[in-house]
């Protein structure tokens, strides 16, 4: 798999984890799904950063999203 894909999936899962965790905390439940999403997201982000030579910079993230969307659409 492409490191850009790992990065994009990791960021999306991390973004989805936030509302899940907030919902669980506000209702007094244990944030199990949110915690699992955070672990998967962190693993994918570390994998993407460590596998790409030179790593990623903050300016590279939008370009990675564009490349992944372009790959999916083609």
| Structure-block tokens of residue 41 | 């997201």
Residues 34/17, Cβ–Cβ less than 8 Å? yes
pLDDT tier at 1 (50, 70, 90 boundaries)?
low
| pTM > 0.75 | yes
Coil, strand, or helix at residue 47? helix
- What confidence tens digit (pLDDT) does each residue in 39-69 have? 999 999 999 999 998 889 999 999 999 999 9
């Amino acid at each position: 798999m492409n490191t850009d894909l790992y990065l994009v999936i990791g960021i999306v899962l991390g973004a989805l984890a936030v509302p899940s965790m907030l919902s669980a905390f506000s209702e007094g439940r244990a944030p199990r799904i949110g915690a699992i999403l955070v672990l998967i997201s962190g693993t994918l982000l570390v994998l993407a950063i460590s596998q790409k030579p030179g790593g990623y910079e903050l300016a590279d993230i939008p370009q990675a999203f564009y490349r992944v969307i372009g790959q999916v659409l083609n």
